[in-house]
Amino acid sequence: MLKGLDTDYVLGVSNVLVRRKLDEFATELGKEPGIVLHPSTRVEKRVAIGPGGVFMPGVNLQECASVGRHVPASGGSSCPT
């Protein structure tokens, strides 16, 4: 399904503990997580997005924000500096 992309997997799991275990498992296998940005996600200047981030419609990543590994954000979310 991800053939031809620069990534091996993305996680769509809301449970933090399960998401962490799945990430650890995939990392041990040498897999690289991708980042999912919906086209309506607003990304301002100098934003740092960690591997595995998933951003749904209506998310606003404000200037100089830093988002960690496998952070999911849903519509209406704002990630300030």
pLDDT digits (tens, 9 = 90+) for 36-68: 999 999 999 999 999 999 999 999 999 999 999
**DSSP-assigned letter for residue 49:** E
**What is the reported pTM?**
0.80
In a domain, 9, yes or no: no
In a domain, 54, yes or no: yes
φ/ψ bin of 47: left (φ > 0), alpha (ψ from -120 to 50), beta (otherwise): beta
How many independent structural domains does the chain possess?
1
> Band of the pLDDT at 6, cuts 50, 70, 90?
confident
Task: Determine the Cα–Cα distance for residues 22 and 42; give it in Å rounded to an integer.
Answer: 28
Q: Give percent of the chain above pLDDT 90.
A: 74
Domain around 35: 16-79
In a domain, 55, yes or no: yes
Nearest partner of 36 among 62, 13, 65, judged by Cα: 13
In a domain, 39, yes or no: yes
Per-residue pLDDT, 2? 53
